[in-house]
Amino acid sequence: MVNKEKVEEAVRLLLEGIGEDCGREGLKETPSRVARMYEELLCGMEASPKEHLSKTFTAEDNQIVLEKDIVFHSICEHHLMPFFGKIHIAYIPDGKVVGISKLARTVEVFAARLQIQEKLTAQIADAIMENLHPKGVIVMAQAEHMCMTMRGVKKQGSQTVTLVSRGSFEQEESLRTLFLNLVSQK
């Protein structure tokens, strides 16, 4: 849970540290605005994916379920800068499916934390395996990192892609290939 008072004090110290006057008109309310922003952006710290993945429906046909182009944003734990992009999730049910909006909500739970993309991708896959018990799951994240585009190497438009597979997607190359082909289709 975000401690607003500590965040506000930290922001005041940061502003002073970079030579700003915290009393000037444009900055007077900045510490409280930043505290509210972090409370909103990091609301996943206390959330559990289980609440979203626990309501399932019987599905006799165990074909691939794919939800692609789930837009997300997160904050890099290394530089406290945003990264954002799309996540694609596929799973093969083992008699149970979850509402497709619940996959997007699961993404939100993990993205709303200080995070690295590699961990985010694995956490989503593991949560689906643990809660839905599918035959397999695969998660791909494609993101642009502001720590690479605004500072450092300053490579605008560069994308980082991470892929995590579990179960049948890990064991069967043909399933991974099918997933990649489906994701690449418009």
Q: Annotated active-site positions, please? A: 76-79, 117, 145, 147
Sign for the CA dihedral angle at 169, 172, 173, 175 comes to: negative
Q: What length is written for the chain?
A: 186
CA distances (Å), 128 to each of 18, 124, 172, in order? 43, 6, 18
Alpha carbons 136 and 46: distance in angstroms, whole number: 27
Helices then strands (H, E): number in the chain? 8, 7
